[in-house]
Amino acid sequence: MLHEIMVPDLAESTVEAIVATWLKKSGDIVEEGEVIIELDTDKVSLEVVTPVSGQIKEVNKNEGETVLVGELLGIVDDSVSQSIKPEKPDTKKGSNDTEVSATPVAKKIAEKGNIDLTKIKGSGPNGKITKNDLENKNDSKKTSILPNSSGPEEIIKLSRRRITIAKRLKEVQSDTVMTTTYNEVDLSSVISIRKKFQDQFIEKHGIKLGFMSFFVKASVNALQSFPHLNSELHQDELILKKYYDMGIAVATEEGLVVPVLREADKKSSAEIEKGVAELATKAREKKISLQELQGGTFSITNGGVFGSLMSTPLLNPPQVGILGMHKIQEKPIALDGEVVIRPVMMLAVTYDHRIIDGAMAVQFLVRIKNLLEDPYQLLIDA
């Protein structure tokens, strides 16, 4: 019997992917559950497995081709006898016959490029060698003198994911009407609370009381007051979300990803801090799953960790709003007729102006500002 291998459902708002690598070719024998294709999206790399044991009869999409959800990738014939037992997918012998832990894609690249895996340091879980380890080692960049140049110029080959990210960002700008409003927030009270309760918080919960729990709680509160910013536009209908799954932007080597903190409105400050830390670690260690990137209703991004004082965050479709945090900087401000020095952060909210008016967005951001400047009510359940 012939079995079709289809492009699976991807992350929300992602409908296409790029065929990164075929780990098997037409005529190869495969075992049920074996990874045979790797797809690249703007969010994650996705491994596609064969649902049955048999022989690959057709390869319908070549490496580098863009494919859509539900398209046919290839066909496996389960009537072919399994006369050849495939090599274990997670290990590969190096030139000195030492067992090396590597992903299936890394094995394939090593075979094509005649690369000795024993000389490669893996960055994956438990030191496993990944595709990125080989690309960085092998041929990710080169230096040359170009015509009409006055000196050396470095040429860096973009990864498929970076190309896909660039394409998605262009689509966001084309398909939405992004507008941003800004405001400053005095974080004196937040900093005072963290200083006063930090030791007690760590002793009780085993994690530091950071800034993110304040911003997540303030955002949820503001979204409950202004539900249009927690919505999705679908053709001529606006879907108001009655749940609060917060996307938390995380910078990784391959670009920005936005894992989702589920049911943020039901979480304590400690649960938010632990959840955000866990998602960030998984994203940076490339352990984040496709499910953990789906379904966010609103996002928060923090350029302040890199020193940004002010920026315009970009929407993460199909979401219609995103909050941008920035660096905390001491500034002179007027307070009760006097000039005082306070720790101030610039806040930014980018929103889809097709469905959210400027007045609503401004009030939403002011609500967040007021909650952060008087945050004790946010810590009732801390």
Which residues are tagged catalytic? 353, 357
CA distances from 297 to 114, 193, 241, 259, 329 (A): 46, 28, 7, 11, 30
Instruction: Kindly state the tokens that stand for 294.
Output: 């789906």
d(CA 314, CA 298): 12
Burial (CB count within 10 angstroms: exposed 0-12, middle 13-18, buried 19+), residue 284: middle
Strand (E) or helix (H) holding 333: strand 329-335
Could you tell me if 280 and 248 are in contact, meaning their C-beta atoms sit under 8 angstroms apart? yes
Give which of 84, 112, 89 is closest to 100, Cα–Cα: 89
Pairing of strands 298-302, 246-248: parallel
Q: Give the number of other CB atoms < 10 A from CB of residue 259.
A: 24
Residue ranges of alpha helices (H) inside 114-159 are: 131-138
- A 10 A CB-CB count for 299 gives 23
Structure tokens at 202: 């760590």
In whole angstroms, what is the distance from residue 272 CA to residue 281 CA?
14
CB 187 within 8 A of CB 344: yes
Helices (H), 266-327: 269-284
Q: How many Å apart are CA 295 and CA 305, to the nearest integer?
A: 25
**Inter-residue contact 239 to 318 (CB < 8 Å):** no
Q: Assess contact for 213 and 347: CB atoms under 8 A.
A: no
| C-alpha closest to that of 350 among 317, 308, 313 | 313
